[in-house]
Amino acid sequence: MLNSFFETYFKMKSRVSSHPMKSIHNFINGKYVAASSVAHFENINPATGESVSHVVRSNKEDLEAAVQAAKSALPDWKKRSMEDRARILYNIAEGIESKLEELAQAETADTGKPIQFSRSVDIPRAAANFRFFAAAATQFASESHDMAGKAINYTLRQAIGVVACISPWNLPLYLFTWKIAPALATGNCVIAKPSELSPTTAFMLGQICNDAGLPPGVLNILQGYGSEIGEAMVQHPEIKAISFTGGTKTGARIASIAAPQFKKLSLELGGKNPCIVFSDCDYERTLKNVVRLAFSNSGQICLCGSRILIEKSIYERFKSDLIEEIKSFIPADPLDPQTKMGSLISKEHLEKVDSYVKLARSEGGTILYGGEAAVMQGEHTSGAFYLPTVIEGLGPGSRCNMEEIFGPVITLQSFHSEDEALKLANASPYGLASTLWTESLSRAHRMSEALHTGIVWVNCWLLRDLRTPFGGMNQSGVGREGGWEAMRFFTEAKNVCINFAAR
Ligand code: NAD
């Protein structure tokens, strides 16, 4: 049954445009259900411009059905033993791995990202998320505080109840499951919404969860627009916590609705990440990694470096070598396993990226490489492909150095000293991730301590240990995900104080 479901879906997402259109439904109470209204929208493959499926446009009635299902499932789910919850999460991880190829194909069709990236990063990480939090469920413990001879306090960490997980399109199943897995591991029931631009793998996850033995109603997946169903989820009084990843403006909007209702909020938002290259770096390793951290997923990763700060003494050499290296990142067919750069998420997003390049020109910047849409052939003629773009000559306060572009566009700036590098790096209103490239141990420590970002990578990028706190400061968000941080976010701490003193 499941195989034929995936096979049909896989064919539908393939290049055969004459194949009959499929519908992406909601997943409520363990079943795929049509939305309460007939409204839907088209799911476009951004690499071809073709519509590949209809997606239901959920409304408040659908949300109500999902909330009721989650509420009914909650008493049983939160009482399950930790071993039982862990077993089901392990099963989901295995289910994802057994469908790796179908899921990877769907991810690439929705987003235009290289198939190799979907196969080696997106889908394996989605499985790893479930496996990691399955283990965490069995290891999560709480504190006790002894008041010598008088009393003992212990902390209960209890499921919050019905919670919402809202995720973006850039790493669809990867980020969707990064939220859902800890929410389930801690005994919550979840209403989750993927981005309207990448609905398919979330849709497929429903069946995988059923096969893994997840009881109906524990996870409900609603499809639709953020401004409609997403906002309704944030407003709903029975949803007690919201874990959100997406843009900073959306995060601010969500906070303005949720805060007066005193909901728990985790906000993982945008970034404008500095990458600092010192002259004492391991040159070849740094060069290769700077290209990777700038242009992976077409620069559409919140952790991508977009402001490349290079020590003056190596600036000219590094700049020309960087431009040579970028030539291996030329946009090509996302389904070719050799392709390193696919399309952007949409034509609209391409227009936004291009408007920043135009702005850079008007701000006095020089385009050293790229700076325009890529000219593609055949079925990709209408795709949203943009050349990797390198800009120099912009001051730290220019809009292109202050605002998140979220595309394959980097700026180069030079610095003379550690202090100047730090000042440039910290000039952004964001504070998500920075990378440092130096062989000096003491400099690495000094800089790491002084950088205003939630994550500092030294001589590496995207090297992830899922136990570490993940998140940003300032306009990059509030709270941290990962490891115990996520387990704590999805639980309420209750202190129990037992007086054992003799009367
Ligand atoms: P977005 O904010 O437009 O949308 C994110 C999600 O929120 C989508 O599911 C969307 O439907 C929903 N949404 C939109 N408006 C909403 C509303 N009013 N109420 C509730 N939900 C709403 O972001 P995007 O364009 O999908 O993603 C790109 C952004 O995400 C970038 O800014 C990027 O930096 C950020 N991001 C951050 C992280 C991180 O961990 N910090 C990771 C990935 C992406």
Residue bearing the CA closest to ligand 1, atom 43: 302
**Mean predicted confidence (pLDDT) in 207-228:** 98
The pLDDT, as a whole number, for residue 10 is 42
The pLDDT, as a whole number, for residue 4 is 43
Q: Which residues pair with 184 in a beta bridge?
A: none
Q: What is the pLDDT of residues 79-130, one digit of tens each?
A: 999 999 999 999 999 999 999 999 999 999 999 999 999 999 999 999 999 9
The pLDDT, as a whole number, for residue 1 is 35
Q: 16-25, 340-349, 380-389: lowest mean pLDDT where?
A: 16-25
Q: What is the pTM of this model?
A: 0.95
Distance CA 389, CA 373 (A): 10
pLDDT for residue 8 is more than 90: no
Distance CA 371, CA 360 (A): 10
List the catalytic residues: 268, 302
The pLDDT, as a whole number, for residue 250 is 98
Q: Which residues pair with 493 in a beta bridge?
A: 157
**What residues are in contact with ligand 1 under a 6 Å CB criterion?**
166-170, 175, 193, 195-196, 226-227, 230-231, 234, 245-247, 250, 253-254, 268-271, 302, 404, 406, 432, 472, 476-477
Distance CA 11, CA 416 (A): 55
The pLDDT, as a whole number, for residue 37 is 80
Between the CA of 244 and the centroid of ligand 1 the distance, in Å, is 7
Q: What is the pLDDT of residues 411-462, one digit of tens each?
A: 999 999 999 999 999 999 999 999 999 999 999 999 999 999 999 999 999 9
The pLDDT, as a whole number, for residue 54 is 94
The pLDDT, as a whole number, for residue 21 is 60
The pLDDT, as a whole number, for residue 35 is 78
User: Longest C-alpha distance within the chain, in Å?
Assistant: 87
Residue bearing the CA closest to ligand 1, atom 11: 226
pLDDT for residue 43 is more than 60: yes
Between the CA of 194 and the centroid of ligand 1 the distance, in Å, is 9
Query: Which atom of ligand 1 is closest in space to residue 196's alpha carbon?
Result: 11
Between the CA of 251 and the centroid of ligand 1 the distance, in Å, is 8
Residue 503: which pLDDT band, with cuts at 50, 70 and 90? confident
From residue 327, alpha-carbon distances to 108, 145, 213, 368, 380 in Å are 22, 59, 47, 13, 20
